[in-house]
Amino acid sequence: MTLTISKLTRPLAPLAAITALVLAMGGTWMTADNAFAAPAQAQPKTTASAAAVLDDDMPRSRPPKKHVSGRLNLNTASEEQLMLLPSIGPSKAERVVTWRKKNGGFKRVADLRRVKGFGYKTFKRLEPFLDIKGDTTLAPKR
């Protein structure tokens, strides 16, 4: 019965990988549960150029969710009104207005799926706020 080095090291490889990860992180990681609950640390005062460098090094986070109430008429809403909807920015709002001009308006709310960038999940998230007739009453919640 001969033991080779690979037979001895194979069971130890996962342990070595975890040990290397812990040492590399230095014990300064957060779990998903407390990532946003961590207290903010005081930032030292910096110049504009140093602030730009710091901003580039900071991880990007998602913009805050938009909380709205009311309904939005897809056939009469402006780009600014469309951008009140969650997950709708300037480019998607512009696409909706362009599609509406090109195709003569929306015949049903589900026609929004024909606009690039509005898949099933996005449409289902927005559907409670959408209408094709009536006034636009969409407003941010307070």
pLDDT at residue 58, rounded to an integer? 57
Rounded Cα distance, 138 and 129, in Å = 7
- Is a pLDDT exceeding 90 seen at residue 78? yes
pLDDT in tens, 10-59: 788 888 888 887 787 776 666 655 555 555 555 555 455 544 545 555 56
Is 14 within a domain? no
| Inside any domain, residue 59 | no
Q: Which amino acid is at 42?
A: A
Q: Indicate the length of the chain as a whole number.
A: 142
Q: Would you say residue 105 lies in a domain?
A: yes
Whether residue 102 is contained in a domain is answered as yes
Q: Is residue 11 one of the residues assigned to a domain?
A: no
Domain assignment present for residue 42? The answer is no
Residue 104 sits in a domain whose CATH number is 1.10.150.320
Identify the domain containing residue 104 by its residue range. 68-140
Q: Is residue 72 part of a domain?
A: yes
Predicted local distance difference test score (pLDDT) of residue 69: 87
Which residues have a Cβ under 8 Å from the Cβ of 131 and sit 6 or more positions away? 71, 72, 73, 74, 109
Task: Indicate the number of domains in the chain.
Answer: 1
pTM summary value = 0.55
